[in-house]
Structure 1
Amino acid sequence: MKVVRNYLYNAGYQLLNLIVPFITVPYIARVLGPKGVGINSYTNSIITYFLLLGTLGITVYGNREIAYHRDDIKERSRIFWEIEFLQLITIVIAYALFLGFDFFQTQYKAYFLLQSLWIIAGAFDISWLFMGMEDFKKTVLRNTLVKLISLAAIFLFVKTANDVGVYIFIIGIAQVLGNLTLWPYLPRVIQKPVFKGMNVWRHLGPTTMLFIPQVAAQVYLQLNKTMLGQFDSVIASGYYDYADKLVKMALAVITATGTVMLPHMSNLAAKGDMKRFNNALYKSFSFVSFLAIPLTFGIAAVATTLAPWYYGEQFAIVGRLIIIESPVAILIGWSNVIGLQYLMPLKRVKSYTKSVTYGAIINIVINIPLIVSLGVNGATIATVISESVVTGYQFWVVRHDIRFSRLFVDAWKYFVAAIIMFIVVYLLNCMMVISIGSLTAQIVEGILIYIGVLLVLQASIIVDGLQLLGKKF
């Protein structure tokens, strides 16, 4: 039940992450316009490279290491302080490199400085400690408060197209404050640092191994935006960013599974309980498929009317980009399970690294010709192809270790139900005038059809869910 509770906490927070942009993005799109949105998107994509360098692979590595030793407070404390001091050192180096980069900039110099708040925030990010402890309540509640305050600040202070800097500052300072709010809880779970015998550098190698796949994974998003800004325009970068945002907002509820399951699976692996480990993996994969497959078809069904209504007529092109990118929900969902919930807990980091590195290489190779020939459509296609490579390679790596017949046992049922749902929702979308009411009606109708078809097909996740409810009530 602890895993379920943590998932509900994290999924609830991810829903808030979905709702807040759902409220702010249309407002920002209309106030800042395509150029302002593009400037934010482009400058943030550059800052992300420095943030990745500063945090290395510490978020995932720290999460896993704390999970391995969470029952030993002395060892847990030693590992925490070693990793945190390493993080402070690498952030200082990354920020120094950023200042050197910004010194030579002639365009967007001030915006880059404001975006650098994200790098500063990275120094104080200890969410990995509480995730490793499987204590998601603290991170969720504190970040929720900061998120709501930043939401209010956006509506209060971002009023015109000249407020791009104000918007960037609000988002950046919210990230800093959100990370700082976790520190008061530290004395309850961690002892004071003991500097004698502390070995910060022993973590550099393992975190660097995780840094490589993190950088490669960011290539799909950040490099696409950067290249669009260079080879097309910052406006095209903004279009791509907003299409990606809408897909990723919906995907957040799915990837919440990986965030919760990583420490749980790592702890099972550390105990050598492989029977429970494998059972949890199959259940998690089925659950992710159950969510990701209808999400892909649902987004595609409403995309062409949702985008101009949600973002404004200036962003009508985003609808087509969303349809192209929608399969990413399934691909990332599956790679999230295999990569974060299987390969990482078993310390098969090399295989995980190869998968995202190959995806990044493919992305770089095909990005330029696709952007030059197809513009922003090409960048979106490159994203889908790259994610396909990542997921495909991970499946190939585990082909002798995992029973695919059990992994995909109900997948065909999810696809059948999702396709039927797509047809109905698409027809409704064509007939109805888009509004909050009609969109809600289409979502509810889609969910009912999807669940109804799965009931008829006797999908195991529905049968198990009904049995669980029967026991409760």
Structure 2
Amino acid sequence: MNKNKSGRTHRMPSIRKNYTYNLIYQVMTLLTPFITTPYLSRVLGPDGTGIQSYTNSVVQYFAIAAALGTASYGQREIAMHRDDREALNHLFWEIELLCAGTTAVCLVFWLGVIGCSKEYAPYYAALSMTLIAVAFDISWFFGGLEEYGLIVLRNMAVKCVGIVLLFLFIRTKNDLLLYVALTAATGLLGNISMWGYLKPFVGKPDIRQLKPLSHLKETLVYFIPTIATSVYTILDKTMLGWFTDGDKSQNGYYEYATGFVNMSKILIMSFNAVMSARMSYLFGAGKLDEVRERLRGSLDFVLLLAIPITLGLSGIAAGFVPWFLGDAYLPVIPLMYVCAPLVLVVGLSDCLGSQILTPAGLRAQSGRAIVGGAVVNFILNLILIPKFQSYGAAAASVAAECFITLLYLRLGKGFVTLPLLWKCIWRRLIAGVCMFISVAVLGRTLVKLWGYSPAVTFLQIGVGAVVYGMILLVLRDPFIWKQVERIIKKQEHV
């Protein structure tokens, strides 16, 4: 319990409850592609998917510029001042006005892009809604308050609406433009819907007292690493479009391979997102011992998930892609082998960035690390994409993320050490390798008997989870044994 400046006490939001909210949403996020992707991959084809991927990558640059780092900066500031209602009100309106202003500027330049484009002008016009949506995105505010239930409710509603509209209206390759427009529109409407939850938290703004430009310098500190990050999360797709002009299938392959990786790591990323606001609060209160304790637990949990997901993706790829995407997407299989390490590497760097560097106010230092990684990625893209196409883009991304993670470990050396990491990793690595072997062998055997089918993939996942868990029990993994002991104690009290 804590007192705010009005003298009233309030209960700290539950991390477990917030993670459960996020987990529900992330499970839905994982299930949604299992419903939509097999349909879209066959209706739109590799070329249609590639055009959607390429045009969306272009608008994302403008969306990032419009946001100007306000999401990360805003969540941190709200988390640090959430006990002060007056400061909270000022912060929200100042940061929101700044974001709305930068979005308006970016829209002017975006109209120029639409006017200069010939082949993709209709798609860019539809994607204008994606850019406008940035001005209405206030999820950073609720994230800072740790009100994740509201965010999850909105996101789930938006996804359900999007799925229904997709199956109702997207029927042939000629519906590609409509698909792009529907995706952009649902995102915009979802962001607007969040405003209905604001009233209990903020009041009407006093325009005369607001100084939105006072936050410009700080948001730029957050913006620099954000735009740098886009080099290896978005520019890969853009550069693939440049170097494979006329063959957008490479973008299609890359879109799905990286999409599977992104789906696989969302459980980890959502945990880091939930912990980020709490860590900002603890840093603001000067509770560094609790910061270190929570970070150790976070690293333990992140690595417990990241290692089996990384190796599991590689183990199921050969049997999964043919039935899920269709024979036209077989090049996605080796792409998944190359991309899979991103789950582990990004999971670790995101943990350090979200829970230590950003809450501690080290965003400028972490930004330089990201800029360095972006340079590495850009140079490797120039070298590898012309020769290896989508495989080169994937390899460049993995190399850049490894570079950034190493620099993050150096920046966070006061909170995390290599012996601590090794203590968290070695048992999971042994269990993960054994799991990978069992999953790969099982997949080859079952495919010969049953062919490519969902049953094979789900059996691989089930057997892999059992093997991984059993070996961790045999190796007496501290995290697993702690959960086992907790369950036993609960049973004893029943």
Q: TM-score, normalising length from structure 1?
A: 0.98
**Matched letter for residue 408 of structure 1:** W
Q: Distance in 2 between matches of 1:21 and 1:230?
A: 28
- Residue pairs, 1:153-172, within 5 angstroms: 153-172=165-184
Q: Distance in 2 between matches of 1:54 and 1:410?
A: 39
Q: Does the residue aligned with 2:353 lie in a helix, a strand or coil?
A: helix
**Matched letter for residue 266 of structure 1:** S
Q: Distance in 2 between matches of 1:245 and 1:401?
A: 32
Q: Does residue 405 in structure 1 map to residue 423 in structure 2?
A: no
2:382 corresponding residue in structure 1: 368
Q: Distance in 1 between matches of 2:361 and 2:23?
A: 26
**Matched letter for residue 115 of structure 2:** F
2:404 corresponding residue in structure 1: 390
1:430 corresponding residue in structure 2: 444
2:481 corresponding residue in structure 1: 463
Q: Distance in 2 between matches of 1:262 and 1:186?
A: 21
Q: Is the 8 A contact 2:353 2:408 kept in 1?
A: yes
Match of 1:9 among 21, 34, 37: 21
| Count of aligned positions | 473
Q: Is the 8 A contact 1:73 1:191 kept in 2?
A: no
The percent identity for this pair of structures is 36
Note the aligned Cα RMSD (angstroms). 1.2
> Which range moved further: 447-456 or 187-196?
187-196
Q: Distance in 2 between matches of 1:117 and 1:22?
A: 26
Q: C-alpha offsets along residues 131-174 of structure 1, whole Å, 9 cap, x if unaligned?
A: 10001001101210121111011011000010001111111111
Q: Distance in 2 between matches of 1:395 and 1:447?
A: 29
Q: Distance in 1 between matches of 2:104 and 2:88?
A: 24
Q: Does residue 145 in structure 1 map to residue 145 in structure 2?
A: no
**Matched letter for residue 123 of structure 1:** A
Q: Is the 8 A contact 1:413 1:459 kept in 2?
A: yes
> Which range moved further: 93-102 or 292-301?
93-102
Q: Does residue 327 in structure 1 map to residue 341 in structure 2?
A: yes
Match of 1:40 among 28, 36, 52: 52
Gaps of 5+ in 2: 1-12
Q: Distance in 2 between matches of 1:407 and 1:86?
A: 40
CA deviation after TM superposition for structure 1 residue 400, in Å: 4.5
1:289 corresponding residue in structure 2: 303
Q: C-alpha offsets along residues 284-305 of structure 1, whole Å, 9 cap, x if unaligned?
A: 0110000000000000001122
Q: Is the 8 A contact 1:15 1:252 kept in 2?
A: no
**Matched letter for residue 456 of structure 2:** S
Match of 2:148 among 129, 132, 136: 136
Q: Distance in 1 between matches of 2:324 and 2:43?
A: 13
**Matched letter for residue 40 of structure 2:** I
Q: Is the 8 A contact 1:343 1:352 kept in 2?
A: yes
Q: C-alpha offsets along residues 410-441 of structure 1, whole Å, 9 cap, x if unaligned?
A: 31000000000000000111111332222111
CA deviation after TM superposition for structure 1 residue 401, in Å: 4.3
2:469 corresponding residue in structure 1: 451
Match of 2:457 among 439, 448, 460: 439
CA deviation after TM superposition for structure 1 residue 219, in Å: 1.3
Q: Distance in 1 between matches of 2:303 and 2:415?
A: 20
Match of 1:309 among 319, 323, 339: 323
Q: Is the 8 A contact 2:319 2:456 kept in 1?
A: no
Q: Does residue 341 in structure 1 map to residue 355 in structure 2?
A: yes
Match of 1:270 among 284, 290, 314: 284
Q: C-alpha offsets along residues 290-347 of structure 1, whole Å, 9 cap, x if unaligned?
A: 0000000000001122122211111110011011110000000000111111000000
Q: Does the residue aligned with 2:207 lie in a helix, a strand or coil?
A: coil
Q: Does residue 176 in structure 1 map to residue 176 in structure 2?
A: no
Q: Distance in 1 between matches of 2:228 and 2:396?
A: 14
Q: Distance in 2 between matches of 1:470 and 1:62?
A: 42
> Which range moved further: 12-21 or 441-450?
12-21
CA deviation after TM superposition for structure 1 residue 54, in Å: 0.4
1:58 corresponding residue in structure 2: 70
1:72 corresponding residue in structure 2: 84
Q: Does the residue aligned with 2:208 lie in a helix, a strand or coil?
A: coil
> Which range moved further: 164-173 or 43-52?
164-173
CA deviation after TM superposition for structure 1 residue 196, in Å: 2.8
Q: Distance in 2 between matches of 1:17 and 1:71?
A: 32
1:240 corresponding residue in structure 2: 254
**Matched letter for residue 83 of structure 2:** D
**Matched letter for residue 363 of structure 1:** N
Q: Distance in 1 between matches of 2:92 and 2:357?
A: 23
Following TM superposition, where does structure 1 have runs of at least 4 consecutive aligned residues deviating by more than 6 angstroms?
Answer: none
Q: Is the 8 A contact 1:286 1:408 kept in 2?
A: no
